[in-house]
Structure 1
Amino acid sequence: MPKKKKVAILYGGRSVEHGVSINSARNIFEYIDKNRYEPLPIGINLQGQWFLTSGVSKDIAKDGQALALSLNPGKPEFIILKTGKRFQADIVFPVLHGTDGEDGSIQGLVKAMDLPMVGTGVTGSAMSMSKIVSKRLLKEAGLPVTDFLTFRYDEKDKFTFSKIAKQLGAPFMVKAANLGSSVGVSKVKTQKDFKQALDDAFKYDNEVIVEEYISGREIECAILGNYPPEASYPGEVVISDKYEFYTFDAKYVDPDAVRIDVPAKLSKPVAEKIRKASVKAFEALNCEDFSRVDLFLDKKGKVYVNEINTIPGFTNSSMYPVMWKERGVSFAKLITRLLTLAQERYDRGKRIERDFKSSLKF
């Protein structure tokens, strides 16, 4: 029987999405094929400290053993500080949503460790995490996006509600530029709303994006694989009338806030348009292995690409695994597929030379 591969499942993290990450990682730990893989849950607390935990725990520091890392590329070792015991991982599965986990930070560390890693690398993660950068790149790729404005914290006094409403119409959306899960996101209808929205967004970021509000349907599409990537059939998030938009509470707290329609009730031509746009967005932002593309479908049938999540949720109600389950891919098979994709991509990358033979003397 082949030796089990050790999979370091990174979860938690220094992010406002810390709790969501824990819930996602808990499912991955439960459903990973333990006949093929040995999961090593490594929790990162809100202070950024790493701990080996026996399972996926919400009390990471209390339940875990503090770790250090020996950077020996290709064979890095995790060191349990209390005992000095060392162990290695064969592959890394980051389940870190948001800051420091989905923005290229962890991806850069894993790349320096020279280990296979599930998901998008440094460049694609950084570009996709920034709502400003991704919007510009998607627009450059010819994909339909909403009209938008951007400004930094030091520019916040230059923009007024009336000035923005004149350019984008009202209501409009105000968002922290580098967060997910609808944290730092507000729907603005009045001057009073605008001030509160800015204060909230700038609590979490130094950059803000203001977007045209689209009255329509919230559509999501799951992407899996590389060369070429494959799109699921789209799903729809139907939000309760008591919510102005798809807020954090609607996503994770209130069980009656949304209805998930998988598959979405769409005509075949519209569904295909969404699938093609989702794959094109995935490729335009240099994504790898898997992502969830969020889109809007307005009342006239126009599709807008909203954003890409390079580490989508893996909770029981998360759309990404639900959309693939509808296509016949179980949670366990999906995890195995992702780990296989990561290993294949890592192996292909070995053909790239890291040394250049020249006459340079040093």
Structure 2
Amino acid sequence: MKIAVLYGGVSGEREVSLSTGTGMMNALKAKGHEVIGIDFHPNHITEITKLDVDLVFIGLHGKYGEDGKVQSVLDMANIPYVGSGVLASALAMDKSKAKQIFDYNGIPTAKSRTYAKYENDGTLREQVLQHFTPPFVIKPNQEGSTLGLTIVQNEDDIGKAIAEGFQHDDEIIVEDYVKGREVTVAVWGEKGKEEALPIIEIIPKNDYYDYESKYKVGGSEHIVPAKLDDDIAATIQKYAVLAHQLMGCETYSRVDFIVTEENIPFILEVNTLPGMTPTSLFPDAAKAVGISYEDMIEKFIHISLQQ
């Protein structure tokens, strides 16, 4: 097949996307496909609309890639691609709206409130303190890879954390800090037939699973499968598949959770275009069931063609 890979982009996750794109292109070439690599920029949309390919792999992360914008361009140009469509991508990227959907459908989430930049009139710190007591989390509503995220340990940090969040987005989420074990679940399959791969527990070298822990070699330890009671593991996998379906995801996604000492799993987010770098989690989950990186990428193609 003739396949284009979009990678790079202009978001804060560009460096990660470059690595993801390289991995995808190498895997596709190893499987005998003709590959066209495109370092994507929103100013060059016409380059995308004129693609003459059988399929597109989107190796972009964050804004202008994972948020549905590129998907809408491909849809209008009638170019097939691997992964979730416009609505699912936009919903999953909007953490506030996604949390509302999870709450409504019985998937536990941390208590949170969303604030817009126009509300930052000098009273936002006091508004936050009316509802939250440190420690709590402040993060951009639409951003990935923990960019702009702060764990507020004391009241003196609130102003700086708010400013940091608004540097990345016009909305921020403030939510309770949930202490526990970080786990993630890779989900894939045709619509209605999705399945969860083995749960991975993430043990970061830093205080929490930050950007460095995610993408630096040796930045975190991945335990596959996670050492969880069977009932808890089954519940987390059920929630992961349900979250994937609620968002309307297609082909694959990765769903992140925190599991408390009381064994309550709190969902963090659904990643519609999870990283595919050498240190990424989805390839580790596939490897745990005997599927190589190259075969995993090929399976994404197979699933997409069956949709």
TM-score normalized with structure 1 length: 0.81
> 1:59 corresponds to which residue?
none
Which residue of the other structure, out of 73, 76, 82, is the alignment partner of 1:112? 76
Structure 2 SS opposite 1:29:
helix
Q: Is 2:8 aligned against 1:12?
A: yes
Contact 1:165 1:172 in 2 (8 A): no
2:209 aligns with 246
Asked if 2 retains the 8 angstrom alpha-carbon contact of 1:187 and 1:245, the reply is no
C-alpha separation in 2, matches of 1:140 and 1:264:
27
Equivalent residue for 1:134? 98
Aligned to 2:158: 194
Question: CA 1:186–1:123 in 2, change beyond 3 Å: closer, same or farther?
Answer: same
1:294 aligned partner: 256
Percent of aligned pairs with the same amino acid: 30
Q: For structure 2, list consecutive stretches of 5 or more residues without a partner in the other structure.
A: none
| Rg (Cα) greater in structure | 1
Name segments (4+ residues, structure 1) moved above 4 Å: 33-36
Q: In the TM superposition, what are the counterparts of 1:184-333 in structure 2 within 5 Å?
A: 184-226=148-190, 227-240=192-205, 243-253=206-216, 255-333=217-295
Q: Is the 8 A contact 2:201 2:223 kept in 1?
A: yes
Which residue does 1:353 correspond to in 2?
none
Structure 1 match to 2:56: 92
Query: Taking structure 1 as reference, are residues 165 and 230 closer, same or farther at Cα in structure 2, changes over 3 Å only?
Result: same
Q: Which residue pairs with 1:337 in the alignment?
A: 299
CA distance in structure 2 between the partners assigned to 1:246 and 1:252 by the alignment:
10
For residue 310 of structure 1, report the CA deviation from its aligned partner.
0.3
What's the secondary structure of 2:61's corresponding residue?
A: coil
Out of 142, 147, 153, the residue aligned to residue 111 of structure 2 is 147
Q: Could you report, residue by residue, the CA deviation over 1:200-233 in whole angstroms, capped at 9, with x for unpaired residues? A: 1101110000111011000000001122111011
CA distance in 2, matches of 1:30, 1:214: 39
Q: Is the 8 A contact 2:215 2:280 kept in 1?
A: no
State the Cα deviation string for residues 113-136 of structure 1 (Å, max 9, x = none).
112210000000000001111111
Structure 1: runs of 5 or more not aligned: 51-66, 72-76, 79-87, 346-362
1-side partners of 2:185 and 2:115: how far apart? Answer: 29
Letter paired with 2:298: T
Q: How much does 1:166 deviate? A: 5.0
Contact 1:165 1:171 in 2 (8 A): no
Partner of 1:57 in structure 2? none
In structure 2, give the amino acid aligned to 1:214: V
TM superposition shift of 1:160: 2.0
Rounded Cα–Cα distance in structure 2 between residues aligned with 1:268 and 1:230: 16
> Aligned partners of 1:176, 1:70: CA distance in 2, in Å?
29
Q: For residues 14 and 171 of structure 1, what CA distance do their matches in structure 2 show?
A: 32
TM-score (norm 2): 0.95
In structure 2, what is the Cα distance between the partners aligned to 1:89 and 1:34?
18
Distance of 2:295 and 2:264 partners within structure 1: 34
Relative distance call for 1:70 and 1:102 in structure 2 (3 A) is closer
Higher mean Cα deviation, 328-337 or 163-172?
163-172
Query: Which structure shows the bigger proportion of residues in helix conformation?
Result: 2
Corresponding residue of 1:81: none
* SS of 2:237 mapped into structure 1: helix
> Match for residue 125 of structure 2?
160
SS in 2 for 1:320: helix
**Residues 338-357 of structure 1: matches in 2 within 5 Å?**
338-345=300-307
**What is the number of equivalent residue pairs in this alignment?**
305
Deviation, structure 1 residue 164: 3.1
SS in 1 for 2:80: coil
Distance 1:192 1:25 in 2: 41
What are the superposed Cα offsets for residues 4-60 of structure 1, whole Å, 9 maximum, x if unpaired?
x11110001120101100001111111125454211111124xx345xxxxxxxxxx
Give 1:330 shift.
Answer: 1.2
